[in-house]
Structure 1
Amino acid sequence: MSTMSIDVGALLLETVPFAQTLGIVFDSVEDGRAVCRVPDRAELHNHVAGPHAGVLFTLAESASGAAVLSSLGDQLSRAVPLPTTATISYRKVAKGEVRAEARLLADRAEVLAELDAGKRPVFDVEVEITNADGVVVSELTVTWTLRPNS
């Protein structure tokens, strides 16, 4: 468990202006999990009147970053978290507000042990995006690393 005492959602919105542009709202961030959402706005729609694929991806990637920071953010003085790859599956056409729920799959102690050993830890975060009815519309796996500060 992290000893971080900052508001991770606020930090992400401050440091990632594009998340602000989309209007991402962080509902909860704690212990390797994060939930955020994007309200339904016509200017974010695609050709089928739902959130654009880029909106869904950015929402999910933002949730994954918040999950990482909630668990490992107290390590920022020695390493920077960076996404290395992401795979998204679009399952159904999304309509209305969408919600992303991210879950860190790595064990904090194992990640820190790798970092302590001078390695660059690599780990995954899974994200489900649901519509207002709770139906899964997309799934994303983001692979992250902690790059030691020089």
Structure 2
Amino acid sequence: MSQDYAFVAETMKQGVPWVGTTGIDFLEVEGDRVLVALPDGEQYRNHVGGPHAAVVFGAGETASGAVVLAAFSRHMDKATPLVARAEITYKKVATGALRAEAVLGRPAAEVVAELASGTRPEFPVHVTITNADGVTTTEMTVIWTLRPNR
């Protein structure tokens, strides 16, 4: 039986107001992978006409958060997901609309087992950001943790 992840987009837009203001569209949501689109908009641009680095980071971090929500939604009563750290590499100047694909870097069951054992797990989410031509403009890794609820 496959799980329905339709709730992820609305939960992200309601729970993280910034997501709703950017116009990010959730194109594909699976338990270990999410693809979002960031529309082109003058309000997002930098001095070279592309999306500002902070906006690019925000799109990638949003995709990573969505995959964390999809993967661990059944465990939110036990833990709160938080970003521990992130690394980003801007490879090419981004212009126009962007897509950010986030992929869970460890099996969710392994992370949940660590949480159940009393350990505060950390796990990577790998994000690739591409332009409308499919060219990779940015790569990032966001390290998430599940902080046990007390």
Does 1:75 find its partner at 2:72? no
- Rounded to whole Å, the distance in 1 between the matches of 2:99 and 2:23 is 12
3-state SS in 1 of match to 2:115: helix
Unpaired runs of 5+ in structure 1?
none
Q: Equivalent pairs: percent with the same residue?
A: 49
Unpaired runs of 5+ in structure 2?
none
- Rounded to whole Å, the distance in 1 between the matches of 2:18 and 2:69 is 18
Shift of the alpha carbon at 1:2? 8.5
3-state SS in 1 of match to 2:123: strand
- Rounded to whole Å, the distance in 2 between the matches of 1:24 and 1:6 is 15
Which residues of 2 match residues 54-133 of structure 1 at below 5 A? Answer: 54-133=54-133
- Rounded to whole Å, the distance in 2 between the matches of 1:52 and 1:106 is 30
- What one-letter code is carried by the residue in structure 2 that aligns with 1:51? P
Shift of the alpha carbon at 1:7? 1.1
- What one-letter code is carried by the residue in structure 2 that aligns with 1:135? V
Q: Residues 2 and 123 from structure 1, CA distance in 2 versus in 1: closer, same or farther, beyond 3 angstroms?
A: farther
Q: Alignment length, in residue pairs? A: 150
- Rounded to whole Å, the distance in 2 between the matches of 1:65 and 1:2 is 21
- Rounded to whole Å, the distance in 2 between the matches of 1:137 and 1:5 is 27
Contact 1:8 1:66 in 2 (8 A): yes
My pick for the range that moved more, 52-61 or 1-10, is: 1-10
Q: Residues 64 and 125 from structure 1, CA distance in 2 versus in 1: closer, same or farther, beyond 3 angstroms?
A: same
Q: 2:43 corresponds to which residue?
A: 43
Contact 1:28 1:35 in 2 (8 A): yes
- Rounded to whole Å, the distance in 2 between the matches of 1:21 and 1:125 is 23
Q: 1:8 corresponds to which residue?
A: 8
- What one-letter code is carried by the residue in structure 2 that aligns with 1:113? A
Shift of the alpha carbon at 1:6? 5.3
- Rounded to whole Å, the distance in 2 between the matches of 1:71 and 1:18 is 21
Q: Residues 146 and 3 from structure 1, CA distance in 2 versus in 1: closer, same or farther, beyond 3 angstroms?
A: farther
Q: Residues 119 and 2 from structure 1, CA distance in 2 versus in 1: closer, same or farther, beyond 3 angstroms?
A: farther
- Rounded to whole Å, the distance in 2 between the matches of 1:85 and 1:9 is 23
Q: Residues 27 and 5 from structure 1, CA distance in 2 versus in 1: closer, same or farther, beyond 3 angstroms?
A: closer
Normalized against structure 1, the TM-score is what? 0.95
- Rounded to whole Å, the distance in 2 between the matches of 1:102 and 1:4 is 18
Query: What RMSD, in angstroms, separates the aligned Cα atoms of the two structures?
Result: 1.5
3-state SS in 2 of match to 1:72: helix
